[in-house]
Amino acid sequence: MRLMSEKQEKKPLHPETFFLPPLKMVLTFFEKESHQNEQAAKAENQEKATEQDVEKLIEKLSEKEE
């Protein structure tokens, strides 16, 4: 009877609750997330820049026609 209680004390009831992922795994997750946000921001800025460039070109062409 005593052996059983000693074995039960050594084993955690829910071993998955004591699992912590490696720090590198956590940091990689956040790095990917921030990288995706940066790419989205860059793409949005590029779209705005190209729209502005197109508008400027249209203005210049319309001025030349006049």
Query: What is the pTM (predicted TM-score) of this model?
Result: 0.39
Residues with Cβ < 8 Å from 12, sequence gap 6 or more? 18
Q: State yes or no: pLDDT of 6 exceeds 60.
A: no
CB 12 within 8 A of CB 18: yes
Q: pLDDT tens, 7-59?
A: 555 666 666 666 677 778 778 878 888 888 888 888 888 888 888 888 888 89
At residue 26, the 3 state secondary structure works out as helix
Q: State yes or no: pLDDT of 1 exceeds 60.
A: no
Q: State yes or no: pLDDT of 4 exceeds 60.
A: no
Predicted pLDDT at 14: 66
